[in-house]
Structure 1
Amino acid sequence: MNFKELEERAVKFRDERLWKKYHTPKNLAISIAVEVGELLEHFQWGTNEGILEKVKNPEIKEEIGDEIADIIIYLTLLAHELGIDLDEAVERKLKKNEEKYPAKEIRLQEIVEELGGEIIEVGKEVRSVKQVTKLLGVKPEQVVKSLVFITEKEPILVIVDGKSKASLEKLAKYFRKVRMASKEEVEKITGYKVGEVPPVGVSIRTVIDKEVLEKEIVIAGGGRIDRLIKIKPEKIVEFQKAEVLDIAE
């Protein structure tokens, strides 16, 4: 049943009982608030664990379902009285939310926060290690680069500090044939452009140079050219299940 079908059924139910005179926008809005209050009574003072245990009782689950249904019915009737197409309104709002909260950015932000890191809003484009050191007053070795390479079998994320380069010779010892990914390949593989790639939240095999682990905190790409990440290197290893290797020169 879509919103249009629900609306037709709710209006038919109402009109058959001559209740339209009571269903002014004001009364419907108040009714929604009342029903929400009744729904909240089921959750008041309870813990999340207790509530989830509570709804295992079929009778309580049905009661909660009834309250939610009442809210939806009143919302549908209110939209009807105001001439709002709920299918269109919901679709429009979902698109607005997707634009306001881009999944890639929000997901990375959640990952970084869960790992105890920090998103740094720079406010301008940062495209080099030199810019980062000047902007934040840190040393090049405190900055890390997240680079994408292509091996015979798979793409890999290679993390080295800002004063070093990823050594093709050393990488070849572990992966045989290896080359740096093109700009197009980087974006296709990671979803990020060159210079934006973060050290976490990238779903490919990851290797990190052993010297990076000697730092307490590192600064890395933040998923946007005007964002950076501040994070403990061991958290990168933990989240990415990264291999710690000697790969820098």
Structure 2
Amino acid sequence: MGMPRYFMEMAYNGQNYHGWQIQPNAISVQEVINDALKKAIREEVNVVGAGRTDTGVHASYFVAHFDCEQAIEDTQFILHRLNRILRNDVVVYSLFLVDDEAHSRFGAVSRTYHYYIKPFKTPFFNDISYRPSFHIDVGKMNEAAYTLFEYTDFTSFSKLHTDTKTNNCKIMQAQWVDKDDMLVFVIKADRFLRNMVRAVVGTLLEVGRGKMTIEQFKEVIEAKNRSQAGTSVPPQALFLVDVEYSNELFQPIEKKPPVQVDL
């Protein structure tokens, strides 16, 4: 038997953070969670996240785990203490013991992101959405999005010089949804590359504004060259909204996306 392992369901506003992963000279979500847990359970731990969101990207649903020397007797008490320590832009919804082989990152079978676009000027939602300065054809963007299912290698949408061994991903869902005056790009896959969703959205917008055809969009993917794709869209409109696991690993307790989108 290894050390006791705990899963946490949580959410965070990424505006003030340089992504999830600890950085040498910048504040990250992982760092503030580690620090808060150290104070809450009086033990130094290293939290492992379900993924690595980029600088400025949010997570309305995120899962992480950590190991500790001593079992936590009252998880609700520690959960309450943890949330009192954490800043207002990070919340932990649940804390529970799991099998010591359960892993928040490697055990995840899919992740889902939403990218929120406001088609018109508004004084609201500017910090969690993006407003393009041009008209877009949603039908064309959906046509292009559906072609993503034809491919597995998404090198063209990956940040350069990453430490990943493969740029292959299995896309399970990719579509634009019009919901309550908000245009939402929904994309679900087994894994994502760094900067991938923002690069995909930026390239789809090129199709939507008439600067790129569906065939040219496919050629971008086939080129396996980041310089062929469109500019990445701003990070503040991107949310990790779901991480799924097999039922044997654990059943989610909390899911609280900031904007509900019925699909």
Same fold (TM over 0.5): no
Greater fraction strand: 2
Taking structure 2 as the reference length, what is the TM-score of the superposition? 0.22
- Greater RCO, CA 8 A, separation 6+: 2
Q: Larger Rg: 1 or 2? A: 1
